[in-house]
Each structure stands twice: as C-alpha cells, then as structure tokens.
Amino acid sequence: DDDDDDDTETTPSPSRSWRTLPVVHVLVFNPETPDEAIYTTSRRTADVARNDFLVFESLRDATRASVAISDTTPDGSMPVVDAVDPRVVAYMASTCGYGVECVAEGGDFTPPEVVVDETVGGEGDEDDDDDDDD
C-alpha cells in the first residue's frame, strides 16, 4: 500500500494519478555530470518544511516550465526536460523523504520568485553564512 499523503497535484487530473502514467517529465540541471540535480519545490507551513520533486504529465508543459525557470536562475541556466518512469520518481521521493508535485496536462506552473540552490551539499546547509555579501 502506497501512502499518497506525500503526493500533491497542481491542477489535478481527475481521471488518473501521476503514478499510473507511462512516463512523467522532470527538469534536470547539469545532466550526466556530478552536479546533476532534479528540480524540486519547497514550502513551509507553520513550522513544517516540505520538499517535492516536480513532475509534469505533458512534455509541452515541462518545456514551458524549463524556460520560465531559466528566467529565475541567477546564471540563466535552463534545466533539461527528461522523461522518467513514475516508479523511479516514487523511489527517489521515498528514499529522500520528499513528496511529488504533479502538474497535470495544461496545468499552470509559475516558478517561485525565490530560488534556493541546494545542488552542493544538499541536506543541512540551511545556515549558510556566505550570503552576507549583499
């Protein structure tokens, strides 16, 4: 039995879950390098932080999101769209303790205004004192 409490859908598809799709589309920065990273979203509700892998039902929607995200990255880097078996995403999410946010076909996705880059170091880097140069 899978616990669907970690799954959210933006503009949910009423007919099927992302887990039942033949593929989902993820956004990957620096593919096939040691710095490879899958785009995730983060949010905080009260004192609870939540991280989710972002997946798209539609290649077209994922491509549009990739362009929009590149406009928010400091160096203008654009993630590559990759088709992935949903079971791989489910495994990664359960291994990392992340949820999965699925953008249904035709759904609206707007990248957050604040981008947090956790491609280096990952967990536990919240107290970063190197940002005092503003």
What percent of the chain has a predicted confidence (pLDDT) above 90?
54
* pTM to 2 decimal places: 0.74
Measured CA distances, 103 to 25, 51, 91, 130, 132 (Å):
10, 15, 19, 34, 35
Q: Are 7 and 69 in contact (CB under 8 A)?
A: no
With CA atoms as reference, report the closest residue to 82 among 107, 65, 104: 65
Enclosing H/E stretch for 67? helix 59-70
As a whole number, the mean pLDDT across the chain is 79
What is the model's pLDDT at position 115?
Answer: 55
**Tens of pLDDT along 30-60?**
999 999 999 998 888 888 888 899 999 999 9
- The DSSP code for 9 is E
